[in-house]
Amino acid sequence: MFFPMKLRVPQVYLLLFFLLIVHFDALTLTQKSDKSSALVPAIIVFGDSIVDPGNNNVINTLVKCDFPPYGIDFVDQMPTGRFCDGRIPSDLIASKLGVKELLPAYLDPNLEPQDLLTGVSFASGGAGYDPITSETAHVISMDDQLELYKEYQEKLRAIGGDAIAENIISKGLHVICVGSDDIANTYFPTLFRKLQYDIPSYADLVVNYASRFFQELIKLGARKIGIVGIPPIGCVPSQRTLAGGLFRECAPFHNQLAELVNSKLNQEIQRLGSIYQGTLLVYINIYDTLLDIIQNPDKYGLLEVSILCNSLTSFVCANVSDHVFWDSYHPTERAYQILVDVAIDDVLPLIIS
């Protein structure tokens, strides 16, 4: 090391120590600045595989993706249990709102106490508003996700005290993203509900279950709730193959049910908003944007569909991030990024108000 003037050895150590202190202080200030720039104190997520960062890894279910090639575009190309090539919407929302880059799974065995303070995801791939959907997939039901949330609240109080816990719960953004599996895995392929309910009445059933969930969440202290509508589930590759006919067109009845649920869900959100004064309930529309991405992928610089993601039966194309879909059901990180940017920008003024 070259110094412009002659220094004794102790002086060199002192100088190095001083430089380390300056570097540490600068790093600390940066971290504080980043945290202070967050638009909400925490992101807390409930739902299905769209926002499950790995909760299913530790439960007894076949609905898992903690193996390659999942995670091929994630940090260190690591499969984490996210149903994607990279990050999922819960991560992207947390990042976009300045909270943190990755939103962890609540059941992650490596979760640190400080991770809880900025939020987690309770979501479980295969879950639905309809309890039968979760039961048949052997995953964490929406009711059980609420039980985990109660446990989480107690941990927050133990870590930070009542005041900090209350601030996180009341000012944190709660996101609910679920419902696709009720249509794709319960209503159309099985007789569990179809014998009792036509499409309109099943939509009513789903929204009734959804409303109960929202109200329980409000009772537990949530005051900022973003409810994601169902995507055009009839246009995902698996449903086009199963119900889209010879030319694999979008399955019309699947989309009809999705649109009907979304319409009724939006009405119910408005109704609850008028009842629970002081609670923000926001409907987040992803149906129209995702449908446009699927129908006009070149408009977004994407290709329509990738291949089924399974290392035992298929290869992974080199340009997977250029596609709309990662596997037969889930979009790529790049498609999710476009979707999240549009959806959050639409409701951001309400979220930070």
Catalytic (active-site) positions: 49, 327, 330
Do the Cβ atoms of 119 and 93 come closer than 8 Å?
Answer: no
CA distances for 94 relative to 63, 114, 322, 345, 346, angstroms = 25, 16, 23, 13, 16
CA–CA separation, 310 and 72 (whole Å): 12
The side-by-side arrangement of strands in the sheet containing 280-284 is 43-47, 173-177, 224-228, 280-284
ω before 331 within 30° of 0 (cis)?
Answer: no
Q: Are 199 and 260 in contact (CB under 8 A)?
A: yes
Strands in 157-300 per DSSP E = 173-177, 224-228, 280-284
Q: Containing H/E element for 241?
A: helix 237-243
Contacts of 30 (CB under 8 A, 6+ apart): none
**CA atoms within a 13 Å half-sphere pointing along the CA-CB vector of 191:** 1
